Amino acid sequence: MKYLCVHGHFYQPPRENPFTGTIPREVGAEPYQNWNQRINAECYRPNASLGNFDVISFNLGPTLAAWLEKNDPATYRRILAADRVNVANNGVGNAMAQVYNHTILPLATRNDKEIQVAWGIADFQHRFGRLPEGMWLAETAVDLETLDVLAQFGIAFTVLAPWQAESPHLDPTEPYLVRLPNGRAITVFFFDAQLAKHICWTPYMTEDAQVFARMCLPMRADWFKEKTAQDQLLLIASDGEFYGHHNRNRTRFLKEFLAEAAPAQGFEITYLAKYLRHKPAVIETRIAENTAWSCYHGLSRWKESCGCIPADGTWKTALRQALDGLAARLDDLYLQNAWVALDDPWQAVRDYIKVKLGDEGGPELVARHAAKTLTAEETSKILSLLEAVYYRQWMYTSCGFFFDDLSRIEPTNNLAYAARAIILAQQATGASLEAPFLADLRRATSARAGHTGEDIYWAILRAASVA
């Protein structure tokens, strides 16, 4: 009657230069070339080797999955195999999908939400060979429209922090049903914040799995439910990198915790899709909209100054406004050219991920969506615009807004994706979207380096030798 699930959110932002496709050497990742290599050695590979992916619930971010597939195929295959074994044994897998670019969806348009969810599902199906039951939201950032899009695309459940429920009397050992517009509904699991805090931020608590299980699990269990023979679920959710990268000892802690320590306290180890088959949600709740797990100020961390970061965050407001303006102009340019060539331009965008995954050829995709017979030149033009729209999605990667200064590598990467989109659009149509974007970027300033967003943009182009 007592169940335990550990969920790991395994993700790395795209680090590849969009002009070269390579990851430059990254300061701090030594002795490795970049952070992907270092974190893989400390976290992904040892957890896969120990079999931890077999027993936890997890999501593998698309950009991380693509890097692993290319750079450590053995670890990549072990992670995929863990899900396949669970599907074979239990009828459902333990892997969840993730919104594709780790975009903060409540800050996105409905159309962008649909693209991110569609791409996340397609990427998951390409890798795991099945449709996902659950989907991880970037930073668990949520509003009703986001949940409605998940349900629209057939997603059954997601995970949120307990403070993202509107109810002050939330019982996090229960799955909850959230009613949505258009008559849809979705299940939400709320993780146990106290257990997650111990796992993530209290290193001494995870030195001994047996002690942790004896001291912490009974305190979080609902004894009333035990007395009345009701099932209950303790869910611990965190970034997966806490197991091995942030703390080297936690890979073996996780192994012992789930294999021996938690079962010794009477807990059956499960994962979310399996538990939902056993106990569908019947209790309803409402969510607190425009909230996330890593910001106590709503969604401020990704759009303005915020108490989470003791620094001036006005550059975030200026950067987001610049990106939003560019996105609108790119969309208009795409539609001007696509409406005369394609039956449904936005469905073509949602399907374009299949080209990037190698599941469909570019000309074949355009022909499938074509409203008329297109010439080779017209097909090439549409493909270049689709590629521009692809990078336009990348420029909203959440890490670009997460930290304290515009000069960091994360915002720089977002601007590189924007530059790539601008160049692709100009090559396809002859129209330049650069001038209004640069005018907006001048208002975004790095307090640390004194550079504006425009300065960083030109530095990116100089480095790419395309200025």
Q: Give me the average pLDDT of each 10-residue run along the chain (467 residues).
A: 97 94 92 97 98 98 98 98 98 98 98 98 98 98 98 98 92 97 95 94 92 95 88 97 92 97 98 97 97 94 93 96 98 98 98 98 98 97 98 98 95 98 98 98 96 97 78
d(CA 385, CA 143) in angstroms, rounded, equals 30
Task: Say if residues 243 and 254 touch (Cβ distance below 8 Å).
Answer: yes
pTM score? 0.97
Domain boundaries, the chain: 2-284, 302-464
Q: Is the peptide bond before 31 cis (omega within 30 degrees of 0)?
A: yes
pLDDT at position 166, please?
A: 94
pLDDT at position 249, please?
A: 86
Architecture of domain 2-284: Alpha-Beta Barrel (3.20)
Alpha helix stretches (DSSP H) within 40-191: 45-50, 62-71, 73-90, 110-128, 144-152
pLDDT at position 168, please?
A: 82
d(CA 450, CA 442) in angstroms, rounded, equals 11
| DSSP reduced 3-state for 24 | coil
pLDDT at position 467, please?
A: 46
pLDDT at position 466, please?
A: 55
| DSSP reduced 3-state for 132 | coil
Q: What are the C-alpha distances in Å from 29 to residues 24, 34, 40, 413? A: 11, 5, 11, 17
- Complete edge-to-edge strand list for the sheet that includes strand 176-179: 157-160, 185-190, 176-179, 283-284
The residues near 250 (Cβ < 8 Å, ≥ 6 apart) are 199, 206, 242, 243, 244
Task: Say if residues 143 and 288 touch (Cβ distance below 8 Å).
Answer: no
Q: Length of the chain in residues, anyone?
A: 467
Q: How many CA atoms lie within 13 A of 123 on its CB side?
A: 26
pLDDT at position 208, please?
A: 95
